[in-house]
Amino acid sequence: MKRPFRRLRFFAFQALLLQGPGCTFNLQVGPEEEPPSAARAPQISWEKNMLSICHPEMPGGCVEVWYLEAFCRSGSTGRDWGETTIPHTTELLEAAPDKKSIRLRTTVEGGVEVLHSIRAVSDGVEFQVAAANRGAQHVDAVWAQPCIRVAGFTGGTQENYLERCFIFVDGKLTPLPKTRRAEEARYRGGQVYAPAGIDRRDVNPRPLSPDLPSNGLIGCFSAAGSHLLATAWEPYQELFQGVIVCIHSDFRLGGLRPGETKKARGKIYFMKNDVRRLLAAYQKDFPEQAR
C-alpha cells in the first residue's frame, strides 16, 4: 500500500510546482478529506442524446454531455468525418425517480446493441457499457465519443478555455497550453492526445499532439478555481480537447465480430479542487491505468 501513496504524493508535488503567476487556476493539494455522502451525489437526466449532470455546488449549475456524439470506424484520422461516423440511435430504458441512475440502449448500424448503465455517485457519475454484435457481419465500430461541454463550468470560450484544461504528461499535471501542440490535420482546431498502443490512423481527424498521456484523465478547473471536473474511460482510444468548448475521453471498442460482446467503463469526476483526491479516486477506479 505504500508505493501507490508515494506515487500520489509525487503527482501532488508536481501539481504544486505548476502554480505560478501565469496560472489562472489554483491547483490545491490540501489535506485528504472524506468524500461527500451519497446524498450529495449529482442528479442526472437524459433527453435527446444529452446527459445533464447537475449539482448545487457545480459552477454553472449543470454540465451537459453529448452522450453519445458518434461511433467511429477505423481509418478516421485522414478521412472525411461523415465517412467515419456510423449511424446510431439511443433510447431511454429507465430513469430512477431520484435522478441517480439511468439505463439507455443504443442501436448502431450493422446490428450492434449497446446497453448503458449510468449512476450518480458521491464524486461524480459512473458508466458501464456493454456492446454486442447481434448481426451476421463484422462491425467496424472502433471507438465512441462522449462529448463533455464545459463552457459554463470553466467560464471560458473556445479561444481561452483550454487554459483551464489539463492532462497528465510524464507523470505531471500539465495544462493543455503547456503540452506540445500540433497544427496540421484533416481539420484544424482542437488537439488529440493518443496513448501508446493506439493506431494513429484511427483517431480524431484533428491535430495530434506528440505528447503521450501518462494516464487516462483529462479535466478542467472551474472559473473561480474552486472545483474540478475530469473524466476517464477504460479502455480509451484518445483524449481530446474539442472545438465546441468540450473535453473528451473517447472509449475504445476495437470492432465487433458477429456474436461478440465488448465492455467499457467510464467516470466523470466532480469535486473540490483537490488534485490529490482526484488521483486517489482515479487510482481506485482505474488501477490498470494508474499503475
Given this model, what pLDDT does residue 31 score?
40
Angle of CA points 166, 170, 174, to nearest 5°: 20
Given this model, what pLDDT does residue 33 score?
46
Given this model, what pLDDT does residue 291 score?
59
Question: In this structure, are residues 88 and 108 in contact, taking their beta carbons and an 8 Å threshold?
Answer: yes
pLDDT > 90? residue 57: yes
Total Cβ atoms within 10 A of residue 2: 6
Which residues touch 48 (CB under 8 Å, ≥6 apart)? none
CA-CA-CA-CA torsion sign (106, 256, 232, 207)? negative
Q: Which CATH class is domain 2-32+42-290?
A: mainly beta
Given this model, what pLDDT does residue 10 score?
37
The whole-chain average pLDDT of the chain stands at 90
Give this prediction's pTM: 0.89
| Reported confidence tier of residue 288, pLDDT bands at 50, 70, 90 | confident
